[in-house]
Amino acid sequence: MSDSTEQDVTERLPPEDVFSILGNETRIDIIQALWQAENTPVSFSELQDRAAVADSGQFNYHLGKLVGTFVQRDEEGYGLTYAGRRIIGAILDGTYTKRVEIDPFEIGTSCSACGSSLEASYENDQFVVCCPNCTEAVLRFAFPPGVLDGRPRKEFAETASRWIRAQLSFTVNGVCPNCAGAITHSITRDPEYHNREIGLEYDCERCQHHATATVGLHLSYHPAVIALYDDHGIDLNEEFLQSYVYNVDQYTTVRSNNPLRISVTVSLLGDELELIVDEDLNVVERYRK
């Protein structure tokens, strides 16, 4: 058995060929009809009726173009492949089909610099938390507009909190949330984000996805930080926005440069946790006070 980490690729289709398959309204109708079948295999004739295509020859032609990439077929009938479900996901999340704007609204937490109520807004496909007094964006994150469907405005901040927390988890753990490629991180002394003494940059080796963060934000996924909040009855996954802007990156300092040691202190309701990390963001020391 080979020790190589390379995987065998049985077939690789050019991107232009794959996406050209979707450039037809009938084919999109077929994909949506299979999705509406709710995971139940659909026969040829039933699928034709569901897709509302009168000409059997035309229907068979367009269905044939989808089979193998977006549609699978077995003895029970037709269904969607993983790629087909991803197309449905792209349609429903609104990334390519919707444009939504939401005016600023308070999210129930305050600016750590001036004490003003922080506000959240949504425009240009980005969820932004900003202090209206400092005019500084505390958090900016790409967010698909379809997440807002069926949810009242009062739940928007909670939904955004869960979405951002989940997406950042991929990045922090080295997986690109855009293409599932490998993410690498680097420490910068001139961070673009949050004007901290030291910050982080994440870059995907495959699709060039780029993100910036603070060391404290990265460490908010460390078990010790999660446990600190849990001890005070706070679930970081549920209250990420409020917890992050208050406490997760209150104090970040460089303890030494050679070797590099960075200290982050998290303060919460009179309780303090200090984590010291190395150049690879491994926690080498920790103290709870």
| Model confidence pLDDT, tens digit, residues 17-40 | 888 898 899 999 999 999 999 889
Distance in angstroms (rounded) separating the CA atoms of residues 65 and 114: 59
Q: How confident is the model at residue 260 (pLDDT cuts 50, 70, 90)?
A: very high
| Model confidence pLDDT, tens digit, residues 57-112 | 999 999 999 999 999 999 999 999 999 999 998 888 887 777 888 888 888 888 77
Phi, psi of 11 (to 5 degrees): -155, 135
Distance in angstroms (rounded) separating the CA atoms of residues 276 and 243: 20
Please report how many Cα atoms fall inside a 13 Å half-sphere around the Cα of residue 215, on the Cβ side: 30
Helix (H) / strand (E) element for 190: namely: none
Q: Cβ contacts of residue 69 below 8 Å, gap of 6+?
A: 13, 18, 21, 81, 83, 84
Domains and CATH numbers, the chain: 15-93 (1.10.10.10), 228-288 (no CATH)
| Model confidence pLDDT, tens digit, residues 135-178 | 777 788 888 888 777 777 778 888 888 888 889 999 999 999 99
Total-model pTM:
0.77
